[in-house]
């Protein structure tokens, strides 16, 4: 399908069961593969990014079995050493898979090539490579310096395992180092240079490492210490939470379209930072109710613009940019420079598409300011092969205008059934 036309919508209410979290799914897959023992992974996300990780692990010799027609998998761990010491891995545009596998493979003793789609080859990885080289990794660039594709040769680990990594480009670099550090068998000290962005995603990493038996001590967000001799151990069974980033679209729909919309799969007990999207909606005037494993959103007395720092929830913050179209007054999203190195340059893409529906936009290096129009315009939205662009702009239809979404299949990256789920809670005019 080249495009999808969404009719003008007036209301949103109902219940949504979220698919599994992409961030949690791909971390758990790698940890299960590297662990000692067999892990049952329940409610794994079925998406392009997880299929990329599953295919890569299978190619590396990890025994992976899907259990019937369920979203549950059995993974037999390889105790920190992949059986295949040579592989040519194509990882699409899956950043979580590319960064974490680069780190893990670079600290082992194999000969690997890692590549992806054209956009992945435009996404910087130099900070991670520089950090891994400090530990003794042997990595070469096969194209432009600082970017994939990469050639990895057997590592020659340094005696003193101390490493510095910049924190202001992508938290996935630190996540990759943390996940891979125990593979060295020795104590590793990681110092973060500059401000660490997307801290909640690092919290997910630390939480899941603990579940697999490896503890990390930290001094604030500047230094992380992994004691030597730790080995990943299977917890036996592990559940993948619903995707909190995906929850943002339905919670926003409840706030815009009246609600209530009940989103199941995340709640007050979630380990994902993106549940804090609901706090931003509350600031804008929505009514939010938290349960242990659900969040409910409905309209309050009216939405209002806010000025806030969204460094902690960059993915979910994209949804706030669209909610701003329905708010009174201007909304400013600050500290979002990481948007520029995502699946597309999201600051530029959001600015371009928001203008199509009538908003007045001020775009900066690390911020976006949105002044909503008096009347939304019907528009054809380009999605830039970015799943979040497609999902965000579906919400515009709740303004009572038709919206055409180009390349709607891009949602397959994280939420293949998104448009069916969105249709199930919305009512056309």
- DSSP calls for 8-20: PEEEEEEEEEPPB
- DSSP calls for 117-176: -TTGGGS--HHHHHHHHHHT-EEEESSSTTSS-EEEE-----SS-EEEEESSS-HHHHHH
Contact 31, 101 (CB under 8 A): no
Q: Is 407 a catalytic residue?
A: no
Q: Measured between alpha carbons, how far apart are the two ends of the chain, in Å? A: 24
Distance CA 304, CA 285 (A): 6
Catalytic residue, candidates 243, 274, 315, 386: 315
What is the signed CA dihedral for 127, 131, 137, 143, rounded to 10 degrees? 10
Contact 275, 293 (CB under 8 A): no
Distance CA 310, CA 261 (A): 24
Q: Give residues with Cβ within 8 angstroms of 187, minimum separation 6.
A: 161, 225, 226, 227, 228
| Neighbouring C-beta atoms of residue 198, cutoff 10 Å | 23
- Choose among 158, 117, 112: nearest CA to 137: 158
Distance CA 99, CA 198 (A): 15
User: Bridge-partner residues for 219, per DSSP?
Assistant: 223
- DSSP calls for 240-298: PPB-HHHHHHHHHHHHHSEEEEEEES--TT---GGGGHHHHHHHTT-EEEEETTEEEEE
Q: Give residues with Cβ within 8 angstroms of 216, minimum separation 6.
A: 178, 206, 209, 210, 224, 225, 226
Distance CA 398, CA 393 (A): 10
Kind of pairing between the strands at 294-298 and 258-264:
antiparallel
- DSSP calls for 356-368: HTT-EEEE-SSEE
Tokens read off for 89: 């891995």
Q: Which residues are catalytic?
A: 315
């Amino acid at each position: 399908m080249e495009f999808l036309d969404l009719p003008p919508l007036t209301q949103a209410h109902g219940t949504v069961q979220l698919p599994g979290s992409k961030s949690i799914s791909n971390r758990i897959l790698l940890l299960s593969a590297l662990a000692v023992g067999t892990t049952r992974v329940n409610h794994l996300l079925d998406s392009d990014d997880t299929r990329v990780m599953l295919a890569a692990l299978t190619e590396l010799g990890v025994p992976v079995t899907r259990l019937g027609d369920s979203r549950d998998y059995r993974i037999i761990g390889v105790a920190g050493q992949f059986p295949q010491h040579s592989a040519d891995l194509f990882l699409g545009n899956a950043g979580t898979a590319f960064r974490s596998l680069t780190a893990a493979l670079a600290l082992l003793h194999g000969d690997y090539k890692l590549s992806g789609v054209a956009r992945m080859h435009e996404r910087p990885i130099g900070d991670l490579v520089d950090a891994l080289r400090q530990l003794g990794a042997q990595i070469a660039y096969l194209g432009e310096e600082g970017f994939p594709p990469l050639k990895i040769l057997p590592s020659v680990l340094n005696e003193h395992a101390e490493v510095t990594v910049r924190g202001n480009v992508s938290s996935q670099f630190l996540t990759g180092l943390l996940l891979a550090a125990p593979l060295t068998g020795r104590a590793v000290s990681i110092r973060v240079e500059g401000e660490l962005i997307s801290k909640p995603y690092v919290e997910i990493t630390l939480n899941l490492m603990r579940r697999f038996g490896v503890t990390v001590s930290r001094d604030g967000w500047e230094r992380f210490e992994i004691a030597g001799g730790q080995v990943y151990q299977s917890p036996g069974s592990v559940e993948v939470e619903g995707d909190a980033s995906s929850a943002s679209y339905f919670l926003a729909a409840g706030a815009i379209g009246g609600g209530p919309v009940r989103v199941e799969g995340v709640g007050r007990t979630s380990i994902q930072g993106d549940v804090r999207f609901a706090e931003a909606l509350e600031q804008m005037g929505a009514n939010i109710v938290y349960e242990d494993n659900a969040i409910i959103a409905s309209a309050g007395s009216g939405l209002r613009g806010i000025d806030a720092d969204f460094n902690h929830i960059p993915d979910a913050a994209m949804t706030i940019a669209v909610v701003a179209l329905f708010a009174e007054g201007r909304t400013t999203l600050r500290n979002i420079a990481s948007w520029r190195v995502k699946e597309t340059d999201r600051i530029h893409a959001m600015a371009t598409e928001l203008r199509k529906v009538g908003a007045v936009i001020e775009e900066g290096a690390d911020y976006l300011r949105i002044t909503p129009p008096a009347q939304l315009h019907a528009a054809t939205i380009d999605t830039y092969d970015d799943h979040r662009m497609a999902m965000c702009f579906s919400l515009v239809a709740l303004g009572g205008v038709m919206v055409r979404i180009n390349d709607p299949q891009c949602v397959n990256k994280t939420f293949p059934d998104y448009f069916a789920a969105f249709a199930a809670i919305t009512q056309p005019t």
